[in-house]
Amino acid sequence: MASYCFLVFALCASQTLSITIESVPSADVGGVILTELETTVSLVCRSNRFEDEEAELVWLRNGAKVALKEGNRQGQSTVCITPVIHQDNGATFTCHMGGNASVEASVTLNVTYPPTLSGSEEVWVEDASPLFLQCDTFSNPPVSSVHWTFNGSTLDLLAGGFTIAEDGYYSRLSANKAEKSKHEGLYRCVADSPVYGIKSKDFLVTVTVFAEKTVKFPLMPIIAGVVVVCLTTILAIFSRWDRIVKCCK
C-alpha cells in the first residue's frame, strides 16, 4: 500500500511541476521543429498549474538568455523567430521557471535550405593561365551528389587536366593551364538535393589567346602626350624666334 501511495505522489508531482512549449509549425515527438529559411516559427511556453499564472518564465537560446518584453514573462511567454535564417539551424530554445531552472522544456530548429545554384556566369581566362570555377553546394540536408558537365557531356577530368575539390560548402573545378582547344565552352555544376531536387549553375568560359587580348600598352595616352610635347616645342621655338628678331632690329 505504501509503495502505491508513493507512486501516486510521484505522478502528481510530475504533473504539477511541468511546463510545455507549443509551436507553429508543430514539433515532432523528439522536440524538433522542421522549417525553412525566411519563414516564421512561433513558440509559446506555459505552465500547466493554475497557481503558476503569475510565475516568471525564462527563455534561453543555445544557453543564452532571451530578452523578453514586460508582460511576456508571467505564466505564459511567446517567442517569435522571424525570419528564420541559416544560423537558426540547430538552435535549441529552452523555457524554464524563473525560480526553478530544473522545470523546463526545449525544442530544436531543423532549418532546411537548398544549395544556391542557378543562372549562368561568364568567365574569361587567358591562355596558359589557371582556370578556376566554383559552385555553392552548402545545403540542409546536404546534397547527395555533385557532378560537372562540359558542353552537355560528362566532364573528362583526365583529358582536361582537371581537379575537383569538395568540402561540403563548395565544389571547385580547376585546371593549371587553360587551353582554348580544351577548355573553352559551357560548364555546368549540377547538385542533387534529397529535398529540393536538381539544382545547377552554368559557366560560359572563354579562353583568350595572345592575338585576341586587348592591347595593354597605353598607346593613345602616349600619342596624346607626344602631340602636346610637339606643339609646346613648336610654340616655344616661335616665341624664341620672335624675341631674336626683335633683338636684331
What is the 3-class SS of 205-227, one letter each residue?
EEEECHHHCCCCCCHHHHHHHHH
Q: Outline which parts of the chain fall under CATH 2.60.40.10.
A: 18-112, 120-212
Percent of the chain surpassing pLDDT 90:
67
CB 89 within 8 A of CB 171: no
End-to-end alpha carbon distance in the chain = 144
pLDDT of residue 25: 97
Q: What is the CATH number of domain 18-112?
A: 2.60.40.10
Q: CA-CA distances (angstroms) from residue 20 to 33, 43, 234? A: 15, 10, 94
pLDDT tens by residue, 171-217: 999 999 999 999 999 999 999 999 999 999 999 999 998 754 444 45
pLDDT tens by residue, 115-134: 999 999 999 999 999 999 99
- Mean pLDDT estimate for the chain: 85
pLDDT of residue 230: 66
CB 200 within 8 A of CB 190: yes
User: Which tops the pLDDT comparison, 225 or 218?
Assistant: 225
pLDDT tens by residue, 57-84: 999 999 999 999 988 988 899 999 999 9
Check if CATH label 2.60.40.10 holds for domain 120-212.
yes
pLDDT of residue 239: 58
Which three three-digit cell numbers place residue 197? 531536387
- Please report, as a single letter, which amino acid is at residue 14: S
User: Which tops the pLDDT comparison, 223 or 235?
Assistant: 223
**Average of per-residue pLDDT across 147-160:** 96
pTM: 0.71
Percent of the chain surpassing pLDDT 70:
76
Count of residues making up the chain: 249
When pLDDT is cut at 50, 70 and 90, the band that residue 13 belongs to is very low
Q: Is the pLDDT confidence value at 19 over 60?
A: yes
When pLDDT is cut at 50, 70 and 90, the band that residue 7 belongs to is very low
